[in-house]
Amino acid sequence: MFANKTIAIIGGGTAGWMSAAWLQHHCDDTARILLIESDDIGTIGVGEGTTPHLSVFFDTLGIKEQTWMPACSATFKNGITFTNWTSRPTAPSYFHPFPSASDRYSAGFFLQAVEAMRKNVPIGPTLPDSYFLSWHLTQAAQSPRRIKTGANIPLSYAYHFDAGLLARFLREWCEQRGVIRYQGRITRVGQHENGQISAVYTNNIDSPINADFFIDCSGFRSLLAQQTLNTPFVSYADSLLNNAAIALPCEALSPLSPHTVSCAMPSGWRWQIPLQHRTGNGYVYSDSYISAEEAEQQLVQAVASKPLNQSPTHLTFRVGRLEKTWSENCLSVGLSQGFIEPLEATGLHLVLCTLSEFTAAMARCNESQQAMNTVNESISARFDGIKDYIVAHYLMSDRNDSEYWRAARSVTPSDTLQALLDCWHNGGNLITKIDKLGISQYYSVISWYCLLAGYDAFTQNKTHPRAPLQWQQLQEKLKSWQAHFLDHEEALNQFL
């Protein structure tokens, strides 16, 4: 792949150095990989949570957790706890686990309870929490790493980390393997007569930096894709209202809890992400309903630990994606290709999906129109699928306490999401509907059930029954499995 060719990555940060590492691993030994970044341009670095898919990245490169996690102040993530997203007293919060092979035993009970409630014949609790081993581990501040007992209890998990430290770690890893770094601010982009990009010019190098292929990791500026190639942007602003965020680092929590917390706020939601050396806090909101100053005040009042001695970081963004991730001889990765608010921590998930699709298509078809079409169709569909799932969080809420929430609950869903919600509310076969809509590749059936049941948004009036004997036996089984897992901080200390 890219034999005897030069690939130039524009921009560093997590997306840039992930791209460099991935391409260095997959490209021909004769390929030359460059990365140009400016020390004067800071990185966003807000997203400090991931999905389990990120483990594919490290496993592919052969980088062990014991190597990268201590260097990036990383912690384990069993799932996401959503609080205050509904005013229903029966569902003040719910835990969304990462579906695992071990859940085959317990997920069936969860689906049965939900389906029975949808028919107004309740047989057991319908919040997902206690049906999943990940929740039990999180409640006990236990990691997803097993004690070496030989117990066959596979568990999916993700990570929290310091984005700046991860970029630095990957930079060192890449430079040790031959990736060439240029430091400088790009002042001009050159193009061939056919419109393809030929070179970039920087403020501190007299000659152009030429390349055969370019990776745009320039962030929201989208220097190559939008500013140079004029790639159209598909906005999601009509269905996702949030367009601003504040990041506020605080002292580390003790004990560390292996989950992300997403708490609904008057004009958006805030995150809490536990790292080894600090706690990441932030508020994602719409500036149409609250000012930056008011949002900062609300966030400071809400955080659970003392803010560190540094100013909050304010940023604005637009939600949506490029019409084409791959245009001409340029692939956009990260914020340059699009952004969906970080409610489900999908930023780096999309980076890895883009890189994986790109190298797979190149291996099959090289730099052909077929490869380009495959990547563009796949990534656009993935963006749209993730967007629908996030929109569903707002549409399922019953919050009516602010103008923001009334607006967020009244957006028009896509045809796909509307069909799924209609099926849920009308008592249809949700599993069949998800399969027919072709969306399970973005979020599994279990994930959809966790979201929909997590809001306790059942059409029928119902009472919550006492837990049946079968459910109690399930809890005992999960508790017995829990005994095989390490304390969260004990698991991290094994790396130090």
| 344 in a known ligand binding site | yes
| 77 in a known ligand binding site | yes
Let me know the angle formed at the C-alpha of 46 by 41 and 47, rounded to the nearest 5 degrees. 125
Helices (H) and strands (E) in the chain, counts: 15, 23
DSSP string for 136-168: HHHHTTEEEEEPSS--------EEE--HHHHHH
| 296 in a known ligand binding site | no
Helix (H, G, I), strand (E, B) or coil at 38: coil
| 335 in a known ligand binding site | yes
Helix (H, G, I), strand (E, B) or coil at 457: coil
Report whether the peptide linkage leading into residue 92 is cis, meaning its omega lies within 30 degrees of zero: no
Cα–Cα dist 271/247, whole Å: 9
Cα–Cα dist 388/440, whole Å: 12
Cα–Cα dist 177/205, whole Å: 24
Q: Give yes or no for a contact between 127 and 93, defined as CB atoms under 8 angstroms apart.
A: no
Q: Which residue type occupies 490?
A: E
Cα–Cα dist 121/143, whole Å: 36
252 torsion bin: left (phi>0), alpha (psi -120 to 50), beta (else): beta
Cα–Cα dist 390/451, whole Å: 10
Residue 134's closest CA among 147, 143, 124, 122? 143
| 14 in a known ligand binding site | yes
Helix (H, G, I), strand (E, B) or coil at 106: helix
Residue 161's closest CA among 53, 45, 82? 45
Residue tagged active-site, from 5, 64, 77, 477 = 77
Active site residue 306: no
Q: Which residues are annotated as a binding site for L-tryptophan?
A: 344
**Active site amino acids:** 77
Q: Which residues are annotated as a binding site for FAD?
A: 12-15, 335
Q: Which residues are annotated as a binding site for 7-chloro-L-tryptophan?
A: 77
Q: Which residues are annotated as a binding site?
A: 12-15, 77, 335, 344
